[in-house]
Structure 1
Amino acid sequence: MAREYIDVLRLPESMPWHYSQAVKVGDTVYVAGQVGAGEGSIEAQTQKAYESVVDVLAKAGATMDHVVRETVYLADRTKLPEVAKVRETFYGDRFPASTAVFSGSGDGYDIEVEVTAVIDD
């Protein structure tokens, strides 16, 4: 199957490595971790991370309704309730299979969200 490499943002040349924000294979979209760095509070960072996921999915022809799997990386497990409130605004009452990983220090990236979506319409 052919692969489509999807990038919404142009990454700076100073990045220590390069990657695609998403790769689409058939009807499946694999979205790399999206962060909300520099956005302040965990709520603001979470909002930004999920907005980035939405933007990448849109470029691939998908929406949050197509998300079947999600991994959320958090620097601080005590922030999970705040993250959950923002997350609900993107999923409503239908959530994908999800895993939360508590990673300790995020070096300014307090949350990172990666998803897999299946376009089955």
Structure 2
Amino acid sequence: MTNATAANGKEAAYHGFPAEDDYGYAQAIKIGNTIHVSGQLSQDDKGNMIAPAALDESGKPADFSTMAEQMRVTYANAAKILARFGATLDHVVEETLYVLDVDTAFTVAGKVRKEAYATARPRCASNLIGVARLAFPEQLVEIVFKAVLPPA
């Protein structure tokens, strides 16, 4: 896990996953008081998927029963990357959840989000978007965040 600051003032944070170099991206970019967090997912510190969906014979998720656990880990990973900039989930002003199954997401997201934000009504704009595929076949959810720190 490293942070790097460019001449243009962008500060980047990385988890250290191989995909960061393979694809060429930062987990988060801070510029000024705003932190843009790339899509977070359910990975451990080595980049291995946690609570992967079982796949059917065609390589697509066979069920969505692990979505809640994937969401929990995803929020925890977002909290870790935000902490690199002295931020918490309380600083999040907007999130977008990309999910493979909207019905399952609606069933589990309310509880998981309230746990992650530690409040009955998280104070951030939230978007829930159903998609056909995510980066990894076993992945059911990916969440993008935008956080704003108070003025210094």
Q: 2:9 aligns with which of 2, 10, 24?
A: 2
Structure 2 residue 82 is the aligned partner of structure 1 residue 54: no
Structure 2 counterpart of 1:104, one-letter code: A
Q: Distance in 1 between matches of 2:30 and 2:20?
A: 26
Q: 2:31 aligns with which of 3, 25, 28?
A: 25
Report the structure number with the largest CA radius of gyration.
2
Instruction: Compare the two structures and name the one with the higher strand fraction.
Output: 1
Deviation at 1:13, TM superposition (A): 6.3
Structure 2 residue 115 is the aligned partner of structure 1 residue 89: yes
Tell me the number of residue pairs that the alignment of Structure 1 and Structure 2 aligns.
120
Look up the SS of the partner of 1:98 in the other structure.
strand
Deviation at 1:16, TM superposition (A): 4.0
Aligned-residue CA RMSD in angstroms? 1.9
Q: 1:35 aligns with which of 23, 38, 41?
A: 41
Structure 2 residue 118 is the aligned partner of structure 1 residue 118: no
Deviation at 1:12, TM superposition (A): 1.5
Deviation at 1:24, TM superposition (A): 0.2
- In the TM superposition, 1:73-88 aligns within 5 A as 73-80=98-105, 81-88=107-114
Q: Where do 5+ consecutive residues of structure 2 fail to align?
A: 1-7, 43-48, 53-65
Q: 1:72 aligns with which of 89, 97, 109?
A: 97
Q: Which runs of 4+ in 1 moved over 6 A?
A: none
Structure 1 contact 73–102 (Cα < 8 Å) conserved? yes
Q: Select the structure with the greater relative contact order (CA < 8 A; seq sep ≥ 6).
A: 1
Structure 2 residue 110 is the aligned partner of structure 1 residue 103: no
Structure 2 contact 93–146 (Cα < 8 Å) conserved? yes
Q: Deviations over 1:32-65 (max 9, x none)?
A: 0001133141111011100000000001110111
